[in-house]
Every structure is written in C-alpha cells, then in structure tokens.
C-alpha cells in the first residue's frame, strides 16, 4: 500500500488549485487524474469568463466564492503571467418588460459586493453601435482568462512545491480507516491488474462530475442533504468574423433558470462564440455528434433568434457547432442549485468533498482552494 499525506482526486482547475494551495503549506500532495493530462473535463469546456458575482443569491457559496475568487484570480494572473483581460461585460434588458428584472439583478449584484453601472439605451448605443437594448448593466469587474495557461500555471506551482501528479488512474473507492483514508485506485482503462491502494491522512474530492459518486462511496448521504446531482449540457457555436460584433468581449441577456441565457463571449485570441444553452442530459457526454445535423441547424436558428434581440443582423449562417460542456449541478429541494463544499465536520476528519462546482467554479477555484486548505488546518502562503 502506498502512503500519502493528502490525496487530491481530480486535476481540473479546482483540484489543481487545491493541490497548489496544500503543497504551498508544506503538505505532500498526491494528485490523481484518470485522463492523460490535466484540465480535460469541464475545465476545458467553458466560456473562460471571470465572473464578478452578479447572479447568485446573497451569502450562497457561489456568491461568496465567486467574488473572493475573482479578486484572487486577477491577482494570480498578474503575478503568474497568465494571460487575461479585464474586459467588462454588458447584461441587457432586451424588452421593456425585462427592465424590472435588470433592476433586481443590479440589486443582488451590489448585495454580493459586485460593482454594476446602470446604462441607458442611448448611452449603450453610443458605446456599442452594434447592440440594441432598453437598458444595460455594465460590470467592470468581469473579464476573460486563458484557461490552458491558468491550468499550466497552477500545475507548475503545485509541482514546484512538491506535488506529485499521477495520470491515467481513477478513484474507485474511498473509505475511512483508523488513521486516515484508504483510496482505491484503478487504471482509467479499467484493467484491475493495475489496482493500487493509497493510505492518506487527508482526501480532497475534486472529481467534478464524479464527485457525488465518490462522496457516496466515502459515506456521504446526499439524499439526507436534499441534494440531487444533475447534468446540464450547454452547446457553443462559433460566430464567423463576417457577423456583426460588439466592441466588448462579453454580452449577456438576462439569466434563465439553468444558465445565463445564450450570450456572446470572445476569447483572448479574438474568436467569438455564442452560447451555451442549458438542457438536462442523463450523462456528462460532450460529443457534438450527440446532435444530428438537423438538430444543430435548428439550434443555430434558435441561437440567432435569441441573439438578434440585442445584436441585429446576426443570422444562423454565421454560427457553426464548436464544442459542448456539461454542468455538474447539485439541485436542492426548492429547485435552486449551489456549490456544496463539505469539510471535515460533515465529511469526517481529514476529508473534503467539493460538489456541484458548476459555473462560476473556474472563477472561484482559488477561493475554493483557500477554503479547503483552511479546513484541512493548514496555512496558505499563496492566494
């Protein structure tokens, strides 16, 4: 049996941030990832947006960790040389009937500590001739980050402080033993001949879509917590350079129940994409071929119709299927969804489960890692 100080399960942006924070405190970290590289799950299938904390109910996990995480992430990008842009973002009321919802959003954003500025239709038209709306919120604290560079920087830091990354192995069991936790590992291709057991003083479950199943293996009763894991897929379509485009990288309508509404984002390379939408799926499957060519055509029509509400002139032929991501939601009894971070008090001494880490998990990764390091009674020397 191998012995480790802390085993971190999952090398997405959250697991990497946790590995980095724990290694910086002098913990010996064993980071386990089934894929052949880091960040190949949801962490590389998102919008790459640094959210400012506009949308989430006050005092929710998402609100607190997003606002703190955005601040930490901007600082980290600056010091670690990770490319980013504090681009700002528009949220638009595309009809007079949406004005009160935009006002409510402004109120909840401010309660969360996010800065937003009310902008009239005339002022928006002056600043953004391609856009039209009845009013807009300007969020100067929103931005975009290069996710591959962020993943690389987090891994580099963790390794510099001694963390060991093991690829091609997945956790298939986690159980409490007298003096810590026993983690059963199996080769990602399923071959049992490579089975291994690791004895660890502490375990951090940052396995994304697989995190609820691992938590159950470790004895967590999610039903008792009234928390149900659900997958919500979101599809992205690339926007051709010939389409009308706004000046700002980030343009959003008002949010919807499971997503932020079909919006426009630009990455640091200048590519513009539309999406994601949000629909329930039974598996976290991101293949484009899950939709038929007719379904993609229908989606391009629907996306173009949504976008035309604020970007006149955009047409379905400007849009091409690009990629998809799946949100690992944890839905509560009242239909809301939030992160659920279980520390040693709930998960057992030395154990942490990070559940339901959908958007804004990328933004929040450093704040989540700080929370984890604190719960495992260590001191972070980096933020």
Ligand X SMILES: Cc1cc2nc3c(=O)[nH]c(=O)nc-3n(C[C@H](O)[C@H](O)[C@H](O)COP(=O)(O)OP(=O)(O)OC[C@H]3O[C@@H](n4cnc5c(N)ncnc54)[C@H](O)[C@@H]3O)c2cc1C
User: Given the complex with ligand X, which of 253 and 276 has the nearer CB atom?
Assistant: 276
Q: Give the burial string for 140-149 (b: 16+ CB within 10 Å, else e).
A: ebbbbbbbeb
* CB of 44 vs ligand X, minimal distance in Å: 7
* CB of 11 vs ligand X, minimal distance in Å: 5
* CB of 228 vs ligand X, minimal distance in Å: 18
The answer to whether 236 touches 320, Cβ cutoff 8 Å, is no
The dihedral of CA 145, 142, 329, 338: what is its sign? Answer: positive
- Token look-up 């600043």 returns 127
Please tell me the distance from the alpha carbon of residue 156 to that of residue 150, in angstroms, as a whole number. Answer: 10
User: Given the complex with ligand X, which of 169 and 378 has the nearer CB atom?
Assistant: 169
Reading the block at residue 83, the tokens are 């490319």
* CB of 143 vs ligand X, minimal distance in Å: 10
Closest alpha carbon to 57 in 112, 100, 101: 112
- Provide the pairing of β-strand 351-355 with 196-205: parallel
Q: Which residues contact ligand X by CB under 6 A?
A: 9-15, 32-35, 40-43, 45-49, 51, 170-171, 206-208, 210, 214, 234, 276, 325-327, 357-363
* CB of 288 vs ligand X, minimal distance in Å: 14
User: Given the complex with ligand X, which of 48 and 135 has the nearer CB atom?
Assistant: 48
Reading the block at residue 234, the tokens are 């979101």
Q: How far is CA 367 from CA 112, 175, 186, 220, 380, in A?
A: 15, 27, 30, 23, 11
User: Given the complex with ligand X, which of 337 and 359 has the nearer CB atom?
Assistant: 359
The answer to whether 135 touches 93, Cβ cutoff 8 Å, is yes
Please tell me the distance from the alpha carbon of residue 174 to that of residue 161, in angstroms, as a whole number. Answer: 26
User: Given the complex with ligand X, which of 11 and 330 has the nearer CB atom?
Assistant: 11
* CB of 18 vs ligand X, minimal distance in Å: 9
User: Given the complex with ligand X, which of 34 and 135 has the nearer CB atom?
Assistant: 34
Please tell me the distance from the alpha carbon of residue 80 to that of residue 102, in angstroms, as a whole number. Answer: 36
User: Given the complex with ligand X, which of 47 and 378 has the nearer CB atom?
Assistant: 47
User: Given the complex with ligand X, which of 135 and 139 has the nearer CB atom?
Assistant: 139
Please tell me the distance from the alpha carbon of residue 237 to that of residue 162, in angstroms, as a whole number. Answer: 40
* CB of 232 vs ligand X, minimal distance in Å: 8
Please tell me the distance from the alpha carbon of residue 145 to that of residue 365, in angstroms, as a whole number. Answer: 13
* CB of 202 vs ligand X, minimal distance in Å: 15
Please tell me the distance from the alpha carbon of residue 229 to that of residue 212, in angstroms, as a whole number. Answer: 7
């Amino acid at each position: 049996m191998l012995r480790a100080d802390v085993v971190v399960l999952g090398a997405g942006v959250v697991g990497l941030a946790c590995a980095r924070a724990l290694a910086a405190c002098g913990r010996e970290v064993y980071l386990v990832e089934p894929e052949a590289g880091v960040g190949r799950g949801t962490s590389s299938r998102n919008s790459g947006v640094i959210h400012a904390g506009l949308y989430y109910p006050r005092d929710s996990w998402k609100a607190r960790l997003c606002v703190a995480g955005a601040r930490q992430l901007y600082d980290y990008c600056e010091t670690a040389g990770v490319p980013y842009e504090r681009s700002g973002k528009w949220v638009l009321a595309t009809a007079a009937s949406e004005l009160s919802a935009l006002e409510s959003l402004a109120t909840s954003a401010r309660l969360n500590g996010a800065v937003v500025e009310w902008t009239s239709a005339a002022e928006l038209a002056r600043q953004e001739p391609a856009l039209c709306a009845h009013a807009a919120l300007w969020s100067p604290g929103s931005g975009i980050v290069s996710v591959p560079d962020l993943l690389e920087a987090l891994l580099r830091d963790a390794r510099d402080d001694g963390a060991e990354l093991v690829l091609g192995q997945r956790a298939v069991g986690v159980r409490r033993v007298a003096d810590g936790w026993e983690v059963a590992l199996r080769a990602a291709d399923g071959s049992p001949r490579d089975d291994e057991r690791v004895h660890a003083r502490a375990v951090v479950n940052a396995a994304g879509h697989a995190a609820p199943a691992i938590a159950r293996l470790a004895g967590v009763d999610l039903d008792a917590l009234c928390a149900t894991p659900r997958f919500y897929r979101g599809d992205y379509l690339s926007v051709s350079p010939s389409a009308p485009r706004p000046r700002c990288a980030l343009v959003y309508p008002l949010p919807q129940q499971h997503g932020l509404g079909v919006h426009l984002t630009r990455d640091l390379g200048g590519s513009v994409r539309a999406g994601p939408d949000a629909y329930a799926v039974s598996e976290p499957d991101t293949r484009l071929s899950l939709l038929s060519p007719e379904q993609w055509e229908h989606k391009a029509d629907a996306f173009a119709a949504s976008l035309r509400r604020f970007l006149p002139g955009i047409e379905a032929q400007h849009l091409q299927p690009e990629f998809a991501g799946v949100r690992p939601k944890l839905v509560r009894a009242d239909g809301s969804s939030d992160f659920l971070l279980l520390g040693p008090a709930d998960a057992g001494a030395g154990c942490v489960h990070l559940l339901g880490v959908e958007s804004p998990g990328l933004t929040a990764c450093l704040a989540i890692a700080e929370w984890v390091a604190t719960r495992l009674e260590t001191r972070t020397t980096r933020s």
